[in-house]
Structure 1
Amino acid sequence: MLMAFLGDIHANLPALKEVLADAQKNKVAKIYHTGDLVGYGPYPNETVEFIKDNKIEGVLGNYDDGVAFKKPTCGCDYKTEKEHEIGTKSLTFTVKTLTYGNQELLKSLPQSIKFEVAGKKFFLFHGSPERLNEYLTPDLFPARFDKLIEDYPEIDVFVFGHTHYPFYFTHRGRHFLNPGAVGKPKTKDPRAIYALAKVEEDTLAVNFRLISYPYEITASEIRKNGLPEELARIILGEVTGG
């Protein structure tokens, strides 16, 4: 069975459309998202509705949580005063723009999903099972990943997002997959990225797909909506995303 995993879309509809088109071209049987549908990008309503209309199942991200429940912050790990300023403007825009119906759709997202494919048990979440905004990164290997295995010994495949960096590895017979970010890169490569996973009884093979899309359309809409210029430059690959 061929599956697609994508995440951290961040209200970037043009990127999401091209990713879905590529997944469909590859004839995937099922698509899941790891959360953060909104935030930073100019298309929060359109993105939530596109996910719903295309029946893409997924989980609540920390930004989705902050917006849907109108929290004072998105739970993001901002390091500088400038990042805080950009984040506040983005959160304010997203809360103001999102319709009540789409806010309710975000509220309805589960914090995790478990399912089974070809005898393999999957566990899908955004940051970690305990915290929406925990960063599970390879530099935490092996201790943090050992803890996941010990806490969830029945799980074969852990799928999560939040870091915006794609990676995949196996450890103690388990699989750990982060599909990266569709809508807000943290490198100067502006392309969207997602993961194709071929799941069979004896194997799981992961292929990351880098997808070009009309970046300038998203950047133009960011500027048109009065969002910070830095967000447009991140989309265009001119600066590294925070």
Structure 2
Amino acid sequence: MKIAVISCIHGNYEALTTVLKDIDSQNVDQIYCLGDLVGYGPYPNEVVTLVRSLDIPTVQGCWDEDIVDGLNACECSYPSLLAEKRGKVAHQWTDQEIHPETRTYLAQLPKVLKQDQLAFTHGSPQSQHEYLLPELDGFLALERVLSTGADILFCGHTHVPYVRTLDQHSLKFSVRTNSGKAIAPEQEFTAPVKRIVNAGSVGEPRHGRPNATYVIYDGDQVTLREVEYDYHKTCGAIIEKGLPPIFAWRLAQGMEFAERADDPSHLCERGV
């Protein structure tokens, strides 16, 4: 089955409609969405209405969760203090803007979807706020895929697309007492090849260009697609609606502004 995977739309209606047109030209069988329908962008209700009208299977993103439950940031919700400061402004604006039916829809979204040997999540299966960065320790990355029971884990959240293959690993372990005495024979666990595929971002790309990104998956073939769209329209609407002008600037640049992760190896402890 040929599928398209989109993520991190962030209220960017112009980007979403353009990407959907591109997906139509790819003759896919199904579209999946990895969440963050709202936040930062000027058209949260319109984005949710369109995704709902197309009956696209969607997981709950970190922004979708926080708009429903209230801002409840953990250490890794934002990559820096500067990002957190601006994020709170965007959260307040979005919280006041969205319609009750939009909030209800976001509240019922699942954290993980599974289709055969494919799993779909926003940040990671553990938390919508966790960043599965491409440099994450291999065994930790493998654990995140194995926890879903899938061969391929599709995620977003970082806004930068990548494909990572986790080669077959063999791990030996034993159970010991506090004194170090083994209480069971040593065992060996072998994990087959797995993959993590990050779809990047439709509505707020951070890969150095303003083009929207998404993924096409067809069998074992993964294609990262970039789509040009009229981002000037979204930039103008950001300013017109009173959101921080820096959001328009970074959208036009396709990058963050002084927002590098303080600790890229940090894993979210929410829900442990």
Show the counterpart of 2:266. none
Equivalence for 2:69 = 69
* Aligned equivalent of 2:181: none
**Residues 151 and 95 (structure 1), Cα distance of their counterparts in 2 relative to 1, 3 Å cut:** same
TM-aligned CA deviation for residue 83 of structure 1: 2.7
More helix by share: 1
Q: Report whether the alignment pairs 1:130 with 2:136.
A: no
Counterpart code for 2:249: R
When Rg is computed on C-alpha atoms for both structures, the one with the higher figure is 2
Q: Secondary structure at the match of 1:236?
A: helix
**3-state SS, counterpart of residue 26 of structure 1:** coil
Query: Following TM superposition, by how much is the alpha carbon of 1:150 offset from its aligned partner in structure 2, in angstroms?
Result: 4.5
In structure 2, the partner of 1:167 is 162
CA contact (8 A) 2:145 2:152 kept: no
Listed as ranges, the gaps of 5+ residues in structure 2 are: 169-192, 260-272
**Which amino acid in the other structure matches residue 47 of structure 2?**
T
For 1:150 and 1:181, locate their aligned partners in 2 and report how far apart those are by CA, in whole Å: 24
- CA deviation profile, 1:123-155 (whole Å, cap 9, x unmatched): 111111111111111211312123235434x31
Aligned position for 1:86? 86
Letter in 2 for 1:195: V
Contact 2:34-2:121 at 8 Å conserved across structures: yes
**Aligned pairs (5 A) from 1:132-211:** 132-152=128-148, 154-171=149-166, 172=168, 173-199=193-219, 204-211=220-227
SS in 2 for 1:57: coil
Q: Please give the residue correspondences for 1:207-218 in structure 2 after superposition, counting only pairs within 5 Å.
A: 207-218=223-234
TM-score, with structure 2 as normaliser: 0.81
Alpha-carbon RMSD across the aligned residues, in angstroms, is: 1.7
- Partners of 2:214 and 2:225 within 8 A in 1: yes
| Deviation, structure 1 residue 186 | 1.7
State the one-letter code of the partner of 2:29.
Answer: A
Shift of 1:230: 0.4
Provide the secondary structure at the position in 2 that maps to 1:140.
Answer: coil
Per-residue deviation, 1:238: 7.2
Match in the other structure for 1:112: 112
Q: Which residue of 1 is the match for residue 52 of structure 2?
A: 52
Q: CA deviation at 1:86?
A: 1.5
Which string of whole-angstrom CA distances, capped at 9 and with x for unpartnered residues, describes residues 163-183 of structure 1?
111111322322211110111
Shift in alpha-carbon separation, 1:197–1:150, aligned structure 2, 3 A: closer
Give the distance between the partners of 1:134 and 1:46, measured in 2 at CA: 27
Say if 1:205 and 1:106 are closer, same or farther in 2 by CA, change over 3 A: same
Structure 1 stretches of 5 or more lacking a match? Answer: none
**Could you tell me the percent identity over the aligned residues?**
31
One-letter amino acid matched to 2:226:
L
Residue 228 to residue 169, structure 1, CA distance change in 2 (3 Å): same
Per mean C-alpha deviation after superposition, the further-off stretch among 8-17 and 229-238 is 229-238
CA–CA separation in structure 1 for the residues paired with 2:96 and 2:211: 28
> Is the Cα contact below 8 Å between 1:35 and 1:126 reproduced in 2?
yes
* TM-score, normalised relative to structure 1: 0.90
Task: Look up the SS of the partner of 1:139 in the other structure.
Answer: coil
Name the stretch that deviates more: 11-20 or 68-77: 68-77
1:229 — aligned with what?
Answer: 245
- Count residues with an aligned counterpart: 232
Alpha-carbon distance in structure 2 between the residues aligned to 1:134 and 1:239: 20
Secondary structure of residue in 1 paired with 2:105: helix
